[in-house]
Amino acid sequence: MAKSAAQTRGLGRRLAAALAPGDVLALCGDLGSGKTTFVQGIARGLGVTESVTSPSFVLVREYAGRHGLPVYHLDLFRLNRVGDLSAIGYDEYVAGQGVTLIEWAQKMPQALPRDYAELTFAISGPTARAITVIPHGPRAGQLVHDWKKRTGSGPGPFSR
């Protein structure tokens, strides 16, 4: 559970320490549930110095992270068909050597790669957010394990 936007960003920063090239995060949840705020924390943790905003209208934003690590921030909210993904170069991002963060991933789960971490955000109070994480694949499992160690979460569903 994150009790504020600052805590949501902090959780993202801690996750960033475990991210590696090729990692994919599927960020799911309603409007205003904290997805972009979390991405802002990840970006800071990866060394992105520019302002991080939602790519809702441009669909993709690219940032340079530490040591030139690309950070790809995608937003599927305005897309309606899996076929629309080719127009934004989706396959190249997901299979690339950057960290790929996909907001509104729940709209097209069939397009997600075999190995990714699914993070579902829920509003649990005026500023509080619950984040549930499900790893899909061995690398995502290791990523979630490492993140749990960094945040002090115990076993069971990871809502922090």
Mean pLDDT, the chain, rounded, equals 91
For residue 37, what pLDDT is reported? 96
- How would residue 156 be classed by pLDDT, with cut points 50, 70 and 90? very low
* Interacting residues of 60 by C-beta distance below 8 A, sequence separation 6+: 72, 73, 74, 75, 88, 89, 93
Which whole number is the average pLDDT over 80-106? 94
Question: Residue 17 carries which side chain, given as an amino acid letter?
Answer: A
Tens digit of each residue's pLDDT (9 = 90 or more) over 21-68: 999 999 999 999 999 999 999 999 999 999 998 877 689 999 999 888
pLDDT at residue 117 tops 60: yes
pLDDT at residue 7 tops 70: yes
Which whole number is the average pLDDT over 139-154? 85
Q: Does domain 5-149 have CATH number 1.10.3720.10?
A: no
Which whole number is the average pLDDT over 120-148? 95
- How would residue 153 be classed by pLDDT, with cut points 50, 70 and 90? low
The terminus-to-terminus CA distance of the chain in angstroms comes to: 4
pLDDT at residue 4 tops 70: yes
pTM: 0.91
Question: Helix 5-16 to helix 138-151 angle, to the nearest 10 degrees?
Answer: 130
